[in-house]
Each structure stands twice: as structure tokens, then as C-alpha cells.
Amino acid sequence: MPKYVYDFIEGDRSRADLLGGKGANLAEMTRLGLPVPPGFTVSTDACRVYLATGSPPAGLFDEVNAHLREVEARLGRWLGDPHDPLLLAVRSGGRYSMPGMMETILDIGLNDATVEGLAARLGDERFAWDSYRRLIQMFGRTVYGIPAEEFEHALESVRATAGAAGPSAGQLRDLVETYKKIFSRQVGHDFPQAPHEQLFVAIRSVFESWNSDRARIYRRRERIPDDLGTAVNVMAMVFGNLGPDSGTGVAFTRDPATGAPGVYGDYLADAQGEDVVAGIRNTIPLPELERLDPVSFRRLMEIMATLERHYRDLCDIEFTIERGKLWMLQTRVGKRTAAAAFVIAAQLVDEGLITLDEALHRVTGAQLAQLMFPAFDTTDAPAPLAVGVGASPGAAVGRVVLDSAAAVAADGPVILVRPETNPDDLPGMIAAAGVLTSRGGKTSHAAVVARGMGRTCVCGADALRIDPERGEFTVGDRVVRAGEVISIDGTTGQVWAGELPVQPSPVARYLDGELAPQADPLVTAVHRLLGHADAVRRLGVRANADTPADAGRARRLGATGIGLCRTEHMFLGPRRELVERLILADGPEQVGAALDALLPLQREDFTGILAAMDGLPVTIRLIDPPLHEFLPPLAELTARVAGAQARGEDPGRDGVLLAAVRRMHEANPMLGLRGVRLGLVVPGLFAMQVRAVAEAAAQRVRDGGDPRPEIMVPLVGDVKELAAVRVEAERVLAGVPGAPPIPIGTMIEVPRAALTAGEIAAEAHFFSFGTNDLTQTTWAFSRDDVEGSFFADYLERGIFPVSPFESIDTRGVGRLIRLAVAEGRATRPELTIGVCGEHGGDPDSVAFFAAVGLDYVSCSPYRVPIARLAAGRAAV
Ligand code: PEP
Ligand code: MG
């Protein structure tokens, strides 16, 4: 027979999978000899059988009864004994804490007979009847779903007629009768009087609460798997509501908000645990317990110190004092804010409880990310106007502008509000404090570009009706006009009308070199842990940067090179016209002239970036997107030409442009003429870029610098594509005297490149995985469309727990990466391999890239510290 029930003295904290977190920790405290009421845990295995078959495993309740008898023998009291009944608490407790998501039922064992016995034993009739009514209420609500108001109304009317001291025993006895009637009316049978039946029904209902709507929603948000199931803890009741020498409290062994040392908690005299949670009466700060009950207080302090030393971490606890006797009801390694996580990890190192390696595992990249952004103080905030997708974290406040030009022209901070953004909006995005869109998800243009720039962005706020023509947007019947101030939170996706107060991030200021490491305990802790991550990590961290300013910032934030410089970004703004000239060129001469005009500008771009990254590698990617992206949109141009024609005017250049746009139109441009394909069919384009890189490097050498450019070819699918580019590039390089050797490598961003990586490596000095395109092409998911379309549904159904554009799909895309790494290195053992898709800044993905043996990750400058920390964590 499989075993499904474990006494608290049988388990320990290593068995949280089986006993749930709460059960495992109750067992651990029992083992440590701490005062835990006797009890046992029904395992998650039993729950999983129940969830799979709809009934408990055979023999479960016999096993429960056997354990119950042991508890009864230890206490000398029996469940259902009419003279001195044992009462039980039944609590859920899964592997991961899901506070308040599942059920708890207290006072099991009370019925019409035992209530009298309890009253006699405690000498407190009121208490006994009050406990009985609590049981019927909790049982009715949680097991049978009786609406809470049914009981609340009855309770209120009794309270209204009671004196200041509360309802009398007689009133409570009557209330129990009323509750029993409510129960029978709602459920269709009487409240179960048999204590063992109460217990079994309660256990089943805890199993079922695993699949309640709120539990499912919580799990999805916290990425807790749906198939774990919960354990059920059955424990002898102790009472905190037996008068002034009783009470209940929660406590932390350090401050979970700031990490400051010293116990921290709340206590409520003469109360049960749920009264504290419900906030019915005001609690007192824990230190005041010393005055009320010095003996219990001292014992509690000793226990908390024991727990901290034993768990070597911040613990939170729940305790009850029953007539001067202290009982521990729960402990666990406590939840804490991101700031407290860093501070506590550093303190525990100083206290000799953990090593620096362990400290790295006490903090996460996501926590560091949170600490780097300014945050709103939402204490007195009104309800948000709308909620979209938090696409690029931060807190931005500014006046509403509805187009890019207005953002550029504005004085003072503005929020650029657009239905969606495109490359034309780039100047406005640079000028704005934040970006808000009504369409698109986390990989929409707005989101990707904003993250790259560290600009706060909320996208996909679909309640917004944006009307740039009228200069306003509406949410329901609220109209927000251009010029009005709004506040957007890029972490939570919330949007408010008006200005919310913002707190700057000391961590960001430290990382940017503005604050000394000693500035405050948090900054010191971040400094130490990041320093240790750098010392132990094997993975390099580079940045994706296209401007000298970004390169400089990335370097300050700890990047040791640029892993992706997207050159197409250099063709925007005023240079677009030069690209237009290239596209419209008629014959080799005009093409040559257009390229000649671009060459010095590109050279200047590269010189600046190479200077900012002097001595470090700079991977410059040749132009990638389809050329028509540099032309006006078809619809706009058609309208302009039609307008001119209607007015009888000559559309002039617009007419020529329109013809070009039509000629170049592709139904599926992402799969069309872009990347290496463009370089091969537009003669001279790549050569111009390669020349600009080489000349810039030669200039830097002449100026005494140490330039280390690398040239990267995008979207290669076949080695012959790369070989053709390489022949031409090497011809150009040979003609530029004074340039250092410049490696030529390729992105691996289509499945065929990964599958033929062994062949491609023969022509490549390095690989860099473009995981944005590799994800797009492996899944056949359009990176520009899916997040605003069916992704929400996919996440809801659990087809994936997180967008594969956000965190690398290790099983599918990851498999291609492993294959390409192995076959690439088999051909060329010294091959340098990195990644430069968005995943390079995602902590979970960084762990994967470290595990598959990449040499570096490259991410947006602001994510560099996060990647450093994640790479350090992956190494210890
Ligand atoms: C990629 O595809 O992952 C990549 C880095 O290139 P881009 O995002 O510019 O297509
Ligand atoms: Mg790409």
C-alpha cells in the first residue's frame, strides 16, 4: 500500500514536494523540538490521485484515522468526545506558497454534543458556542459555497442587539441554530454532526480548492505548474481567543520590506489567526508583547533566532499563545521585497551564515531589474485610467503628445501616445519620457525599441481610443487631451491621469556611477553581489547598442563589448533621404553616388562607437531590414499622390517613390528581401558598410586607439550566402590600409542556419544567435503580431507558461541552439559564440545560454547588470 499520510514527526523540510511547504516546515519545527501542536500531513500524492480520478486513493481515510488515533493518544483527547473533545484545524499547503488561495477550516469536531464538552472543559460557554458558529460558517462557505452574506447578515443582527461586551452565550447558541437553518436551506441537508465526516469532507474540499478559479489564476501569474496538487495539514487546534492571556501573531525574523535587522511583526490579543488577516481589530507591534507576556515573548525570540540559524535565511512565522502557552503554527523562508533580498543576502554573508556563492542564489535578475527603475509612490493614487502590458519598466510622468514630431518639439517631459509605433516614431520615442500604445504586446515595435533605450513603455492598453487627428484619446467617456499630464508604470502596465510622485532608484544611480557603493545598505549589497557575480561568471556580457552614447552607458553598466550594433538604425531620420536615393537610383552610377554619400556618415557612426568601446569587441551587423521600410508607407503615399492628381498637380518625387514602393511591396517582408539576401542583390551596399567599418577602425588606430570591430552578416541560411559576402568583404578590407584584422561572422537566426551550422562555421569566425528571428522562424510566429493576438489565449491555456519571445524556448529553439553550438565547434573549435536576441537580457534564458556553453550574451544596456548577475548565478 502506498503511504499517503505522514505524522509531523516523520517528515522534514527537504520533503516539500510530498508534504507541501507548510507541512514540511511543520515537520522540521517538530524535529527541532519547537512547540508545534501535534498533527499530520496528507501528501500531495493523495491530492494528485484525487484530482486525476475524482476520488481519494483507496484506504486514505483509514490511514488518516490511524494517524489521528496517534495524535489523540498523545494528547489524551478524542475527536468527538462529548466531554473533552479534540478539535482540529485543516489547512492546505502546496509545494509553493499560494497565500489565501486555498482553503482552511478550523474547529473541526464541534457538534451539538461536543460544544457542551468544550464549554465545560474551558469553563467558557461563550467561547464554545462562538467556535461552533465559526465552524458552521467556514464549513458552509468553503466546502459548500454558501454565500458569505447569508451568515454575515445573521451575525450582524446578533451583534446589533448585543451589549458592548459582545453577544452572550445564549445569543450565540441561538445564532448557531440560525446558522444550521441557513446551512440546511442552502445545502439541502443538515450540517454534518459526525466529526470524522467533517474531517474527511474538509480534506476533500482542500483537494478541490487546488482547482478553484483564484488558485488557477494565481498559479498562472506565479508560473506554478498546475499539476503539483496540494498537501493537507491536520493539526490539533490551539486557541488564541481564550481571553487576554491568549493571542495570535505573525512575525518576521528581519524586516521583509527593507531587510533591516531585528524582529518585526504584529500581535493581536484574544484572537484567532484569521482575525489578524481580516484586520478586524488593530494589531499591536510585536515588541509590545514583551509587556503583555514577557515569558512567551522571550521564548518567541529564542525560537526565531533558532529558526534563522537553522534555515540560514529570513523566516516568517505564525504563532498562537493559548493561556500563556506559546505554539508555533507555521514557518517558512519569508517572502521579501527585492531590496530586502539583496540586503539580507549580504547581511547573512557578514554573519557567517551563508557564503557569497549562496548569496547569489538568494537574489534574482528580476529583482535587480525591479530595483533599477524609478517607482511610483501609489499610496494615495487614484484608480488607474487603464491597464496595458508592462513592456519596459519604469515610472514616467509627462504631458500627452500624440505624434513623434510633437514629442520632439515639446519642452519638458512628455508621454508619446500612439495606437502603435513604427520606425518613423523613433525620434519621438527618444524625446519622450515614456511611450503608451493601445495595440501590440511585449515584442511589438514600441516595446522592443523602448526596452532597448531604457524608455518606460506600456503597450496594448486596448481601452484607449486614440485619435491623433483630434489631439486626444478616450477611455470610456473620459477624454484626455494632448497637453494633459498622465503617469505610466512600465512594470505593472498601469496608466493614471495626472501626476503621481516618483521615487528615483539609488541602485540605478550607483550602477551609472553617480553614487558610491557605500551610499546605503542596499547599494552596498548590490555592489557586493554583482562584484561576486563578475568574479565567478564564465559568460561574457556585451550590449546591443547603436550609438556612442548607448555604448558609453553600456560600458559604465559593465558591458565588455557590443554584441549587436544594428546599422539600419543609422539610416533613419534625415539620412532616410539618402537611402531613398539609393533605392530610386537608376544605373550603377547613381547607385555609386548614393552609397558614396552614405559612406562618410557611416564611418563617423562607427568611429564614435569604436571610441566609446575602445579595447573591447564591437560586433557591427550589416543592414538587415527590407529597404522599403525606409520609404513612406504605401497607403500614405497613395493618398498623397491621389490628392496631388485630384488637384491637377504633378505628384513629382512622390510619384516615383510610389512606383518604388509598389515594386518592392512584399506580402511577407519578414520572410522576404532582407538581411544577407538584400546585401547580395543590392550591389555595393554591404561593401560600403564594410569599408566604413574598416576606415573607421584605421582612423582609430591612427588616433592611438585600440578598435576591435567585428562584422556580422544577418539572416544567413546557407554557407554559400556567407561565403559570397565574405569574399567581397575581404576584398574591401584588403584595400583599407591600417585597419586591424576584422573577424567576419554570422548570425544564426533561421532554422536552416542552425541545422547546417557545421558547414557555416567553415566560413564564420563567430556565431551570434539572433533568437528573436530564430524564435519567429522556428515557431512560425510573427514577432510583430502574435503578442497582441492569440498569445494571451495560449498563455491562458498553458501551451506555454511565458512568451517564447521573452524567455527562450529551451526544448524547441534551444535544441537548435545546442545543435548549432556542437556542430559549429566541431568544425571550428575556436569559434566564438554569443546571443544577441532579446533573450540575452532575460535571467532564465541567460542560465540556459550558460549551460549550453555560449561565450557571451548581448542585451540592451539597461539589462547588462541583470545579465551579469544571472551569469554569476549560473556559475555557482
Ligand atoms: C534577432 O533576430 O534576434 C536579432 C538580434 O536581430 P533583430 O532583432 O534585429 O532582427
Ligand atoms: Mg534578426
Report which ligand 1 atom has the smallest distance to the Cα of 837.
Answer: 3
Q: Is residue 87 domain-shared with residue 145, that is, in the same domain? A: yes
Low pLDDT (below 70) residues in the chain: 100, 221, 274-281, 442-443, 452, 788
Q: Is residue 264 domain-shared with residue 383, that is, in the same domain? A: no
772 labelled as ligand-binding?
A: yes
How high is the pLDDT of residue 573? 77
Q: Is residue 188 domain-shared with residue 56, that is, in the same domain? A: yes
Q: Is residue 485 domain-shared with residue 617, that is, in the same domain? A: no
Does residue 519 lie in a domain region?
Answer: no
* Final residue before a domain boundary, out of 306, 336, 366: 336
Does residue 654 lie in a domain region?
Answer: no
- 3-class DSSP assignment, residue 589: helix
Among the bound ligands, the one closest to the CA of 768: 1
Q: Is residue 542 domain-shared with residue 427, that is, in the same domain? A: no
How high is the pLDDT of residue 106? 93
Q: What is the CATH number of the domain that holds 262?
A: 3.30.470.20
| HSE (side-chain half, CA atoms, 13 Å) at 490 | 29
Which residue lies with its CA nearest to atom 4 of ligand 1?
A: 770
Q: Is residue 175 domain-shared with residue 269, that is, in the same domain? A: no
Beta strands in 69-192 (DSSP E): 78-79, 85-86, 88-94, 104-108
Does residue 252 lie in a domain region?
Answer: yes
Range of the domain at 497: 374-504
How high is the pLDDT of residue 377? 87
* Final residue before a domain boundary, out of 504, 528, 553: 504
Does residue 297 lie in a domain region?
Answer: yes
* Final residue before a domain boundary, out of 236, 255, 277: 236
- Which amino acid is it at 872? G
836 assigned to active site: yes
Which residue out of 445, 564, 835 has the highest number of ligand 1 atoms within 8 Å of its CB and is therefore the one to mutate?
564
Question: How many domains does one find in the chain?
Answer: 4
Q: Is residue 221 domain-shared with residue 304, that is, in the same domain? A: no
Does residue 357 lie in a domain region?
Answer: no
Q: Is residue 148 domain-shared with residue 24, that is, in the same domain? A: yes
Among the bound ligands, the one closest to the CA of 817: 1
- 738-779 per-position pLDDT tens digit: 999 999 999 999 999 999 999 999 999 999 999 999 999 999
On whether the CB atoms of residues 405 and 369 are closer than 8 A, the answer is no
Q: Is residue 311 domain-shared with residue 451, that is, in the same domain? A: no
Whose cell is 467556514? That residue is 138
How high is the pLDDT of residue 802? 86
584's CB contacts (< 8 A; 6+ apart) are 590, 656, 657, 660
Q: Is residue 429 domain-shared with residue 474, that is, in the same domain? A: yes
Which residue lies with its CA nearest to atom 1 of ligand 1?
A: 770
- 510-550 per-position pLDDT tens digit: 999 999 999 899 999 999 999 999 999 999 999 999 999 99
Distance linking the first and last C-alpha atoms of the chain: 41
Does residue 644 lie in a domain region?
Answer: no
566 labelled as ligand-binding?
A: yes
DSSP letters spanning 660-714:
HHHHH--SSGGGSS-THHHHHHSTTHHHHHHHHHHHHHHHHHHTT---EEEEEE-
Does residue 843 lie in a domain region?
Answer: yes
Does residue 477 lie in a domain region?
Answer: yes
DSSP letters spanning 816-837:
HHHHHHHHHHHH-TT-EEEE-S
Contact residues of ligand 1, CB 6 A cut-off: 564, 566, 624, 749, 770-773, 836-837
Complex confidence, ipTM: 0.99
445 assigned to active site: yes
Among the bound ligands, the one closest to the CA of 568: 1
Q: How far apart are CA 210 and CA 228, in angstroms?
A: 9
Q: Is residue 129 domain-shared with residue 264, that is, in the same domain? A: no
Distances (CA, A) of 605 to 569, 598, 641: 11, 11, 35
Q: Is residue 711 domain-shared with residue 855, that is, in the same domain? A: yes
Q: What is the CATH number of the domain that holds 475?
A: 3.50.30.10
Which residue out of 836, 849, 860, 863 has the highest number of ligand 1 atoms within 8 Å of its CB and is therefore the one to mutate?
836
Q: What is the CATH number of the domain that holds 798?
A: 3.20.20.60
